[in-house]
Structure 1
């Protein structure tokens, strides 16, 4: 019984530490975003046509803009802790919770499919290149991977529209609601990640294939297929698993461009529109939700790495 309780204490301590780190990270992120938004010139109701003073005063009172900045911050933070992200300035008929509730599944579908595609193709191409290291296949794949990393998403997305929508008429140029609307955005988000995953997998697989324990296993007569899947693949994927966290951030930041190009009602598009229109509550809500997702994914990735390599635990 004592040994069981002792083994549970480090787990509980690590869990509590990670929860505390997550709360502090989200609080710092939200505070920094709040300060930067309010420091930017202009306001949410600055238009070419000046509103009458009584109308402007009513708007300021409705959205707490008549209060001091510390009071606005404390009021917003208190509401956010209770799960209320406030009303949207740009979409007065909707709350931020409603807008994010509609946009999050769209972005999650695009981002999840893009990461899945990047993992499947990136790992496959990386292993294939490593097994043919030095050959023309390896050089061709790494050349394509280099091009994939060099071309930014704001160039890839319009090129995909020009080729598959305008020229070939195979897929729609934008919109949302049908399965074919998903194809081009997912490819645009996945291409740079496929390239990086392929290069990372190749380098890791080459290191593993040259390890002493694999030479010994090969000398015992094990087949190359068994060596690959039973002994080489799992340790070779450790760097790829560690890469999932920055890959997620890459997908999130890239979604702002991709969703704008394809007219997708996702989190990235709302973030861009909210920033341009000084919709403080919408931008803060998007940042807070995305930050919470990234923290949660990082925790899952750390746990997965610990399961794959117990030496990382402790």
Structure 2
């Protein structure tokens, strides 16, 4: 089961407790193993198992099944993860159900039966609190990496609801596909190295990438770096990308715009390296270093190398 699914389950658990409601999970049969169903049974009041075999690329069939389940069971709140797949199907589901949708929520809570949906707004300058009024289903997507995964056990499982749908043929024709070579992603890494607009030269960029490899870190980028085509959007950190919660986050050449800060609030320690001593990132950093990135990397690499070398006493 994907981490993003567990995160949504955790949010659902918390909301169900707040409103004294019940938590259900919709499972497409082709997406889950027997062991995962057993785990779900310890987390949910109900499991709605859709008996349908769907190719992962047939989004229209996922939309059809989820819309059908919502129409039959009429949940008060319906959540999806704000992954690329979730973001792709959520708007279509909302349109067919004729309900509102709040995307990329970083926090959700219940006010009686009303869902309070909190997400960054105005380029991340503020957090908006949203209520979906007069809707029979309150629908939102949960920012991936922004919350904790579900606890080991939240509710006692009280029954499996089996929902059957007729077999249908997708209107999507798959003509070709290829498997991407994915590197470590920042949202689930203990150490993350971030690269921002202040890194202007290729030698700096390569040095930072090697530094990340040497310390076993994944690497992420601000929107400015993505726009320069230096990096893949899958590793974008911030309001429109991934929210991360590493133990250590190195911020190289990152100014500290609020839409990036939104994505790194969960970091235990933020270490900022920037030549501009007035950069806003220093207001959020636990440790701030005013220095050239290459000089910092050289110095810290020497220090780490010295730490690894055995002392003369140990050799004797």
Task: Tell me the TM-score range normalised by the shorter chain.
Answer: under 0.3
For normalisation by structure 2, the TM-score amounts to 0.21
For normalisation by structure 1, the TM-score amounts to 0.21
Q: Which has the larger strand fraction?
A: 2
Q: Which has the larger helix fraction?
A: 1
Higher RCO (CA 8 Å, separation ≥ 6 residues): 1
Larger-Rg structure? 1
